[in-house]
Structure 1
Amino acid sequence: MTVPHMPVTEDELHAFVDNELPAERRGDVEAWLAAHADEAARVESWRSMAELLHARYDSVADEVVPKRLEIERLAQQPRSWIYGAIAASLVAFIAGGSVGWFAHGAAATPSAFQHFTVDALDAHRLYVVEVRHPVEVAGNERAHLQQWLSKRVGYAIKAPELDGTGLKLVGGRLLPGPEAPAAFFMYESGSGERYTLYTSRATTDTTQMRYASQDKDGALFWADKGIGYVLSGPTDKDRLNQVARLVYDQTEKVGG
C-alpha cells in the first residue's frame, strides 16, 4: 500500500468525515489512515459522533437562522421586541415552586426571562448540530477565549470547569444578546451530548432557576447582579440541574 507523500492535515480529516474531501485526494487520505491506526480510530470516533448529532438534531439543522442571532445586530441599538407567537410553547418552572405556562400562541408582551431564554435556546439548537465549526474559539484556548469574551460583553467571565459532570469545554463564540453582546460556551460529554451556556446583561434578577423546554431541548435560566445565564441541553431536568448548579457555584465565586 502506498502512503501519500503529501501530509494529511486535520482539516482534510474533518472533510473526509463530512464527505467534503475532493475526490482526487480521498484515496490518499484513505491510504494514510490505513497506515496510521490511532488516527483512523480518532476519525472513526468523529464519524460516530457526527451520526449521533445528525440523528438527534437533523430536524433543526436546516432551520433559518433567527434574525436575533445575526451577528450584524451587535452593532444596533437594543431592540424593541414584538413577538406574534413563540415558536414553541415554553413551560416555566421555578425551583421548589409551581409550574405555569409562559405563552400559548399569540401572547401578551413576553418577559425579559422569555426573551433571554428563547435567544439562548435558539443559539443552542443552531450550533449543537455543527461538527466542524460549533465554536469560534476552541476550548484549548480557554485563556484567550475568556479574555476576548470578557472584553466584548463588558464584564469578567470564565468558562466554568465542568469535568466533574463528565463535560469537556468544546469552546465558545460571541453572539448578539437581548440587550447587549452575549458569550456562548459549548460543552460535550463522552457520549456526544452537548450542553451550552449563554450569558449576557439582563434586566431581571432571579437567583431561583427557571426551567423552559423547546421540542427536545431544555434550559435553566437565572440572573444575578444584572447578569443572566441560560444552561441548555437535553430535557433531563435532574441532569440539567446538576450541571447548572455547578455553573452557578463557579459564576457566583468570580462575580461574573
Structure 2
Amino acid sequence: MTDPKIPVTEDELHAYVDNELPAERRGDVEAWLSAHPDDAERVRSWRTMADALHARYDSVADEPVPKRLEIERLERQPRRWIYGAVAAALLAFIAGGGAGWMARGAVASPSLFQNFTDDALDAHRLYVVEVRHPVDVPGSERVHLQQWLTKRCGWDVRAPELDATGLKLVGGRLLPGPTGPASFLMYESASGERFTVYTARADATTTQMRYAKQDNDGALFWADNGVGYVVSGGSDRERLAQVARLVYDQTEKTGG
C-alpha cells in the first residue's frame, strides 16, 4: 500500500483505536500504519492500555458524572458518606522512615476527610478510564498547565516530578472542589498504571495523612497551609504511599 494523500494525524490514530474514526478515513489510516511501523507500534500499545483500563474500570465507566464534578456547577451538592471501610489509622507499617511524615499535624475532621476523598476518588475513577481525553491540558504543556491552574485555583499549583516512581505527567484539568475550584493532575507508568493528584482549599493548617478505599482504588489525604491533597491510585498501599510521599516532599518544598 502507498501512503494516503492526506497525512494521518495524532487525533485520527486515537480515533482509530477508539473505533470513532469516520469510515471513509479508515482505509487511509490502515495504509498509513502499514507504511509507518513506529505509528503502528504506538497504536498497538494504546490498544493494550485501553484493554487493560476497560477490564478494570468498565463497571464504573458508564456511571453518570457526579453533579459535583460538573465544572458548570460550583455549588456544593449534599454529601453522601464515603463508601465502605475508611481506615482511620495511619499507614504506620510503610517502610522508608515515613513515621514523622505520616504522623505530622492534627487529625483532619471527619467531614473534611470525607469531602476530599469522596471527590478525589470520584474524579479518579471517572477519568482514569479515558484513553483519548483523560485531561484538558496535556503534560507536554506543563508550564502552561501550572500557570493556568494556579491562576484559576488561587494557590501555587505545581505538577510534581514523579519519574522516580516510573510515572510521567499525562496532564491535568480544573474541577469543582469542596469550597471552590480544584486542580486535578494525572500520571501514568509505561505499563498503563495511573495515579491522580487532587488539590483544593481546605479549612486546615496541617493534618495527618489518612487512607480511604473504594473497591479497588485507594487514596491518601493530607492538608498543608490551607490546601488539601489527595493522591489516588490502585489498592497497593505501599505503592500508593511511595507516590504520595514524593508528591508531599515536593509540595512541602514549594510551600504548597
Q: TM-score, normalised by structure 2?
A: 0.90
Q: Does the C-alpha gap of structure 1 residues 141 and 151 become closer, same or farther in structure 2, counting only changes over 3 Å?
A: same
Query: Cα offset for 1:56?
Result: 1.0
Cα deviation 1:79-136 (Å, max 9, x = unaligned): 37443x5444433332339xxxxxxxxxxx9511101110000000000000000000
Q: How far apart, CA to CA, are the structure 2 residues paired with 1:82 and 1:45?
A: 39
Q: Is the 8 A contact 2:79 2:115 kept in 1?
A: no
Q: Is the 8 A contact 2:69 2:176 kept in 1?
A: yes
What corresponds to 1:150 in structure 2? 150
Q: How does 1:76-95 map to 2 (within 5 A)?
A: 76=75, 79=76, 81-83=78-80, 85-95=81-91
Query: Cα offset for 1:204?
Result: 3.0
Give percent identity, aligned residues only: 73
- The letter for the 1-side match of 2:14 is H
Q: How far apart, CA to CA, are the structure 1 residues paired with 2:175 and 2:248?
A: 21
- The letter for the 1-side match of 2:72 is E
What corresponds to 1:247 in structure 2? 247
Aligned partner of residue 72 in structure 2, secondary structure: helix
Q: How far apart, CA to CA, are the structure 1 residues paired with 2:10 and 2:141?
A: 17
Consecutive unaligned residues in structure 1, runs of 5 or more: 98-108
Q: TM-score, normalised by structure 1?
A: 0.90
Q: Is the 8 A contact 2:82 2:114 kept in 1?
A: no
Q: How does 1:77-226 map to 2 (within 5 A)?
A: 79=76, 81-83=78-80, 85-96=81-92, 111-226=111-226
Query: Cα offset for 1:4?
Result: 1.1
Aligned partner of residue 159 in structure 2, secondary structure: coil
Q: Is the 8 A contact 1:168 1:188 kept in 2?
A: yes
What corresponds to 1:46 in structure 2? 46
- The letter for the 2-side match of 1:172 is G
Task: Please report the RMSD computed on the Cα atoms of aligned residues, expressed in angstroms.
Answer: 1.6
Aligned partner of residue 161 in structure 2, secondary structure: coil
- The letter for the 2-side match of 1:133 is H
- The letter for the 1-side match of 2:240 is L
Query: Cα offset for 1:227?
Result: 0.6
Q: How far apart, CA to CA, are the structure 1 residues paired with 2:176 and 2:182?
A: 6
Consecutive unaligned residues in structure 2, runs of 5 or more: 94-108
Q: How far apart, CA to CA, are the structure 2 residues paired with 1:58 and 1:168?
A: 24
Tell me which stretches of 4 or more aligned residues in structure 1 moved more than 6 Å.
none
